Copies of this chain bind each other. A is one copy, B any other.
Amino acid sequence: MIKAGIVGATGYAGAELVRLLAGHSDAEVIWYGSKSYVGEDFASIYKNARGFTDAACRADDIEKMAEECDVIFTATPQGYLGSVLTEDILKKVKVIDLSADYRLSDIPTYEKWYGIEHKSPELVKQAVYGLCELHREKIRDARLVANPGCYTTCSILTAYPLVAEGLIDPDTLIVDAASGTSGAGRGAKVPNLFCEVNENMKPYGVTNHRHTPEIEQELSLAAGRRVIINFTPHLAPMNRGILATEYASLVPTADGTYPDTDAVMAAYEKYYGKEYFIRVLEPGQMPETRWVEGSNFVDIGFIIDDRTKRVIMVGAIDNLVKGAAGQAVQNMNLIFGLDEKTGLTGMPVFP
């Protein structure tokens, strides 16, 4: 049994890790870390866990956790892990970080978008960006995995094959996305109250959302050159789910014709044909968040607009699963040599 510790187990992503690991055949949570609820039973806070654990929450002490655990998941605010992680800890334990501290390989970019100084820049180099479908082999050997953001997972995977195959002009890429409110975390803030969110659609972080450079970093890898995009997130009145609607101009081929549906589908097939967690829909079909709720799937669809020579790509994930805890478990499975799907094969829950 893999012994897992969770720093920040009482946030939504942390609690989703608890849920997923409760159904995992080869791992168990032995340390429910929390800042606010030390000493309280985890199942008294997340009462869905009644009967699954009688453990109390413990302090978020990463050094002690490193002694007892095989893997530590950190579901913490930005800057926390960056300030406490050391080479010494990484010698003892695998770390899968759900925060952004090690996602961006370029430290000035991190410091600019997050507005904080990076306290352990020397560790960034060894961190592997944990988007499993893109970096699987490196993840297997990683000690430190930077689990991707929720919007980024969805946005990158939806566009990646078309960028990589040169079918679209990445400079024209626009990502317009909506997220369920669990993505905003469990902090007690007025904007996240029921009455403020319900019956409302609102944009936020327009032109400056922190997931932007992360999307750009990975699509730049795909394009082989620097990519700059527009990304606009919106808060939707639902608990879970991210839908990313992406627009890009098709690149004409040498003979002046534009890639057609077959060409686009072939690109998706090339990259995702063997991926269990990516379900590329038949041409014309569009994903919806309800069809992935509670699961680690990414549903992707696309339509070509002959009038504008653009392709509209749409991706859907559950922000707490493939966008956070599920991908973290997938990363753990890779690191520990397990079947990548272990603990993640439940059918999405609908309605």
Contact with B along A173-184 (1 / 0, CB 8 A): 010101011100
* Neighbouring B residues of A281 by C-beta, 8 Å: 50
Contact with B along A15-58 (1 / 0, CB 8 A): 10011001100000000000000000000001111111000000
Instruction: Judge whether A241 and B286 touch: CB under 8 Å.
Output: no
* Neighbouring B residues of A230 by C-beta, 8 Å: 247, 305, 308, 310, 312
Instruction: Judge whether A305 and B207 touch: CB under 8 Å.
Output: yes
* Neighbouring B residues of A110 by C-beta, 8 Å: none
Contacting B at CB under 8 A, from A170-194, are 174, 176, 178, 180-182, 186, 188-190, 192-194
Is A245 positioned at the interface, with any CB of B under 8 Å from its CB?
A: yes
Interface segment, one of A72-80, A291-299, A327-335: A291-299
Is A86 positioned at the interface, with any CB of B under 8 Å from its CB?
A: no
A293 CA to B46 CA in the complex, in Å? 12
A284 CA to B304 CA in the complex, in Å? 33
Is A268 positioned at the interface, with any CB of B under 8 Å from its CB?
A: no
Instruction: Judge whether B200 and A289 touch: CB under 8 Å.
Output: yes
Interface segment, one of A61-69, A99-107, A124-132, A342-350: A342-350
Instruction: Judge whether B243 and A293 touch: CB under 8 Å.
Output: no
Is A164 positioned at the interface, with any CB of B under 8 Å from its CB?
A: no
Is A290 positioned at the interface, with any CB of B under 8 Å from its CB?
A: yes
Instruction: Judge whether B47 and A194 touch: CB under 8 Å.
Output: no
In the complex, the chain B residue whose C-beta lies closest to that of A198 is B239
Instruction: Judge whether A240 and B303 touch: CB under 8 Å.
Output: no
Is A265 positioned at the interface, with any CB of B under 8 Å from its CB?
A: no
Copies in the complex: 4
Instruction: Judge whether B15 and A350 touch: CB under 8 Å.
Output: yes
Is A260 positioned at the interface, with any CB of B under 8 Å from its CB?
A: no
Is A160 positioned at the interface, with any CB of B under 8 Å from its CB?
A: no
Contact with B along A89-109 (1 / 0, CB 8 A): 000000000000000000000
Instruction: Judge whether B236 and A201 touch: CB under 8 Å.
Output: yes
Q: Do A206 and B48 form a contact, CB below 8 Å, given A190-B188, A198-B351, A347-B19?
A: no
In the complex, the chain B residue whose C-beta lies closest to that of A295 is B48
Instruction: Judge whether A196 and B291 touch: CB under 8 Å.
Output: no
* Neighbouring B residues of A46 by C-beta, 8 Å: 350
Q: Do A203 and B47 form a contact, CB below 8 Å, given A190-B186, A294-B349?
A: no
Contacting B at CB under 8 A, from A225-273, are 228-230, 232, 234, 236-241, 243, 245, 247
Instruction: Judge whether A291 and B47 touch: CB under 8 Å.
Output: yes
In the complex, the chain B residue whose C-beta lies closest to that of A242 is B201
A residues with CB within 8 A of B: 12, 15, 18-19, 22-23, 46-52, 174, 176, 178, 180-182, 186, 188-190, 192-204, 206-207, 228-230, 232, 234, 236-241, 243, 245, 247, 276, 279, 281, 286-295, 297, 299, 303-305, 307-308, 310, 312, 314, 316, 345-351
6 tightest A-B contacts by CB? A48-B348, A195-B351, A202-B288, A200-B290, A194-B197, A176-B176
